[in-house]
Amino acid sequence: MNATIIGLGLIGGSLSKDLKARGILNHVVGVDANATNASEALKLKLADEIKPLEESFNTDLIILAIPVDAIKKMLPEILNRINPKTIVIDTGSTKEGICYEVRSHKNRNRFVAAHPIAGTENTGPSAAINNLFDHKVSIICEKELSDKDAIETAAKLFSILKMKLIYMNASDHDMHLAYISHLSHISSFALGNTVLDIEKNHKNIFNLAGSGFASTVRLAKSSPDMWQPILEQNSENVLKALDAYIQKLEQLRKLITEKNSEEIHRFMAEANEIRKILENI
């Protein structure tokens, strides 16, 4: 199978590495708006050749691994120009806005709305790694609007990537991801800014930060170019998640102010229950 991968960073590059190594992709055409990234991806063999977008439609498969605002803008044009057998798969972390954009498109049936949930805080072609997707979850939305062969191809790709596949509607996807993924990043960005505002001596951060701080703030290193459009496109769900989170923070603040030892302990013990869920992942 020959593929065009649009966006040659962490996700697109890692998809290319694994799908080529596992024998599913024979030839990868790379497309990246950043010329430096495109050149680096070619050197790293994430793509076999680099082409402009307008010369990259004649492949079996097109994968969009770019920020969700760019997917939303680019997807209708891609569907306008593909041949009848080409399958288009996106990897966006929001789904409802993207799906709505092409819901009535004449070639909507050739599109699979997907979200492979995997990643690190690193960006760019050099961030691409082998086995990034192994034993992670991938979600496909609006399965009923895609052709059978398109869904079967997407399912085969994710199976080869050793991913567990889940189907759901786009609105449910965005609601669940707001709490489970998007809120985690918001918390990390906020914590990073809080510490930077208070600790003006950056040497103190370096010397005193333990593993707990490092793991909690790790996501603050994530790309603003990717996360700003995610938060905007999923703003309704994100704001509900933020309100719920702030309520919990205010509850804990009140307990600390009151020096209510018993309830502080109960608050943390209840949170410990999340361990039982995470240990089964």
pLDDT 10s digits, 187-212 = 999 988 888 887 766 666 656 566 67
Average pLDDT of the residues in 226-249 = 97
Name the average pLDDT for the chain: 93
- Answer yes or no: do 12 and 132 share one domain: yes
List, in sequence order, every residue forming a beta bridge with 6; answer none if it has no partner: 31, 64
Average pLDDT in the 8-13 region? 97
Domain count, the chain: 2
Q: Which of 133, 151, 168 is the last residue of a domain?
A: 168
Higher pLDDT, 243 or 196: 243
Domain boundary among 168, 191, 207: 168
pLDDT for 197: 80
Task: Inform me whether the pLDDT recorded for 180 exceeds 60.
Answer: yes
Task: Give the pLDDT confidence of 123-142 residue by residue, as tens digits.
Answer: 999 999 999 999 999 999 99
pLDDT reading at 280 higher than 80: no
| Measured distance between the N- and C-terminal CA atoms of the chain, rounded to whole angstroms | 32
Q: Is the dihedral of CA 240, 167, 11, 209 positive or negative?
A: positive
Read off the CATH number of the domain in which 58 is found. 3.40.50.720
pLDDT higher than 70, residue 158: yes
Residues 246 and 156 grouped into a single domain: no
Higher pLDDT, 8 or 221: 8
Same-domain check for residues 182 and 164? no
d(CA 11, CA 80): 25
Q: Which range, of 42-51, 58-67, 269-278, averages the lowest pLDDT?
A: 269-278
Give the residue numbers spanning the domain of 252. 173-278
Q: pTM of the full predicted structure?
A: 0.90
Which of 144-158, 166-180, 201-215 has the lowest average pLDDT? 201-215
157 Cβ contact list (under 8 Å, min separation 6)? 19, 24, 89
Q: Quick check: 227 pLDDT over 90?
A: yes
Instruction: List, as own/partner pairs, every contact residues 69-72 make where C-beta atoms lie below 8 angstroms and the sequence separation is at least 24, other chains included.
Output: 69/229, 69/232, 69/233, 70/7, 70/229, 71/98, 72/97, 72/98, 72/101, 72/233
Distance CA 114, CA 91 (A): 5
Residues 130 and 12 in one domain: yes
Same domain, 91 and 216: no
Q: Please report the pLDDT score of residue 279 as a whole number.
A: 76
- Tell whether the model's pLDDT for residue 276 goes beyond 90: no
